[in-house]
Amino acid sequence: MTQVARPPKSESARSASGGLAARVSLGRRFTPVSTEFLMIASAALMLTIFGLVMVLSATSASAVSAGKNPMDGALRQGIFAVLGIPLMFLISRLPVRFLKRMAWPALFGSVALQLLVFTPLGIADGGNRNWIMVAGFTLQPSEFLKLALAVWIGFVLMRKHTMLGTWHQVFIPVVPVSALAIGTVLAGKDLGTAMVLVLVMLGCLFFSGVKLRLFIIPVFLGVMSVLALALTSEDRMRRITAVCSDMSDYEKNCYQSIHGIWGMASGGIFGVGLGNSQEKYGWLPAAGNDFIFAIVGEELGLIGCIVVLALFTLFTVGAFHIIRKTDDPFIRVAAGGITVWITGQAVFNIGVVIGLFPVMGVPLPFMSQGGTALLAVLIACGVLLSFARTIPAPEARAAERVNTAGRGKVTR
Question: What is the SS3 assignment for 137?
Answer: strand
Average pLDDT over residues 209-217: 79
User: Buried b / exposed e across 111-148, counting CB within 10 Å, b at 16+?
Assistant: bebbeebeeeebeeeeebbbbbeeeeeebbbbbbbbbb
Beta bridge partners of 132: 122, 139
What is residue 392's DSSP assignment? -
- Do 153 and 337 touch, CB atoms closer than 8 A? yes
Mean pLDDT, the chain, integer = 83
Tell me how far apart the alpha carbons of residues 179 and 174 are, in angstroms, rounded to a whole number.
8
- Do 58 and 288 touch, CB atoms closer than 8 A? yes
More reliable by pLDDT, 157 or 256? 157
CA distances from 119 to 115, 371, 372, 373 (A): 7, 21, 19, 21
pLDDT at 7: 53
Nearest to 178 by CA among 209, 207, 199: 199
Nearest to 338 by CA among 215, 177, 202, 200: 200
- Do 354 and 34 touch, CB atoms closer than 8 A? no
Instruction: Give me the percent of the chain exceeding a pLDDT of 70.
Output: 82
- Do 131 and 122 touch, CB atoms closer than 8 A? yes
pLDDT of 4 > 70? The answer is no
pLDDT of 2 > 60? The answer is no
Which of the four pLDDT bands, split at 50, 70 and 90, describes residue 271? Answer: very high
More reliable by pLDDT, 243 or 61? 61
Tell me how far apart the alpha carbons of residues 144 and 370 are, in angstroms, rounded to a whole number.
13
pLDDT in tens, 230-247: 777 666 666 666 656 555
Count of Cβ atoms closer than 10 Å to residue 83 Cβ:
15
Beta carbons within 8 Å of 261's beta carbon, 6+ residues apart: 244, 294, 353, 354, 355
Which stretches within 268-370 are classed as H helix? Answer: 292-325, 329-353
The pTM of the full predicted model, rounded to 2 decimals, is 0.86
More reliable by pLDDT, 292 or 399? 292
Nearest to 345 by CA among 326, 317, 364: 364
Q: What is the radius of gyration, based on Cα positions, of the chain?
A: 25
Tell me how far apart the alpha carbons of residues 319 and 339 are, in angstroms, rounded to a whole number.
6
pLDDT in tens, 143-202: 999 999 999 999 999 988 777 777 777 788 888 999 999 999 988 888 889 889 999 999
